[in-house]
Structure 1
């Protein structure tokens, strides 16, 4: 009787965790497939010619804008690492229509040795500019400081979230950041947007781990059944 109860408990344990491991494995595969489709769609869209920005524009769409650059309210996005070097992404507002502004990410610059040395950088000699690039909607992300922004302009920001950044402006903010294409006139370094926070291969790797755990559990269960049958 005791042995039968042990086998029943082991069987219930095996069935439950087998379902969990296999389900998690297939879930990771599906996530990997979804990320693959997103990346492929993004890459395909980047081959298209930029179209004029409108209220119908969507995330990751290639667009262009024309407007007036406000380089007196520059925002430096903090803690952006490029090739092992700490730096800033340079954001600045551009007025496009009806006193609305869109924040443009002009690229990456190396961070000075001291934050006291942070100053305004030259983005363009001409205030009336045209910019093409990709629309993105960044999330709040990890905040490393209690204060999201420094007190004076140019601001150093711990977040690229529109929800956070719009608090710096009285004007209406378009709910996108325009990641500018490479511009030789700025000298800033272009960083390719991160479309997926985790690449598909990692999801497939995690799926493999769940299936390996299922196989290991199955071997242990069969070993237990064989051993208990001999007793």
Structure 2
């Protein structure tokens, strides 16, 4: 039991190292020059690099609900976008405070530029709406691909600039490696405390014998 916290400390430290490496790779990719998204291939992994888009919007936008920004509740406006190579992608136009989500916004026109990032991963409660249209809590990518009649690329293009009143959505990965390092230190201290307690208990048991 005294050794278990040390194992957990090592595990958390390794997670912190892994997250730090991912974040460094993401930040390095963000400094690359923009390339056309179609040049990356239909299954390109979203890695944070800048990309350029040609094409046109496809149908009505989606509103990602329960999206916090700087601690404020709001929504993110997502627009399905058809690319010249026959694939489709979701474009994040920006964020709006919850009370402004009913505003009419101008249509999106190309060419566009943004960052190629993973879709947000969310823990959904019962009753959450995973769908491909309207106001959603998470995107049903398969349903959206079926609605568009085209293959959907596995990521999100977050636009670099947003048309007011929209605010650019965050592109930095939501995880923080420092949290894992902090957990590692906590487990290490707990392991040390348990080790000292176990040693004292052993000494007392030996003296009684």
TM-score higher than 0.5 here? yes
Q: Deviations over 1:168-190 (max 9, x none)?
A: 4333322221111123x454111
Asked whether 1:227 is paired with 2:199, we answer no
Partner of 2:19: 35
Asked whether 1:66 is paired with 2:47, we answer no
Partner of 1:131: 112
Candidates 192, 195, 202, aligned match of 1:218: 195
Return the alpha-carbon distance in structure 1 between the equivalents of residues 195 and 126 of structure 2. 47
Q: Per-residue deviation at 1:143?
A: 2.7
Segments of structure 1 that go 5 or more residues without pairing to the other structure are 1-16
SS of residue in 2 equivalent to 1:104: strand
Are 1:122 and 1:186, in contact at CA under 8 Å, matched by a contact in 2?
no
Partner of 1:171: 150
Segments of structure 2 that go 5 or more residues without pairing to the other structure are none
Q: How does 1:1-231 map onto structure 2 within 5 Å? A: 17-53=1-37, 54-55=40-41, 57-60=44-47, 61-70=49-58, 72-112=59-99, 118=102, 120-124=104-108, 127=109, 129-138=110-119, 141-144=122-125, 146=127, 148=129, 155-160=134-139, 162-163=141-142, 165-166=144-145, 168-183=147-162, 185-195=163-173, 197-231=174-208
Pairwise CA RMSD: 2.6
TM-score (ref. length: structure 1): 0.77
Are 2:130 and 2:139, in contact at CA under 8 Å, matched by a contact in 1?
no
Q: Per-residue deviation at 1:194?
A: 4.0
Return the alpha-carbon distance in structure 1 between the equivalents of residues 123 and 146 of structure 2. 18
Return the alpha-carbon distance in structure 1 between the equivalents of residues 164 and 73 of structure 2. 19
Return the alpha-carbon distance in structure 1 between the equivalents of residues 2 and 93 of structure 2. 50
TM-score (ref. length: structure 2): 0.84
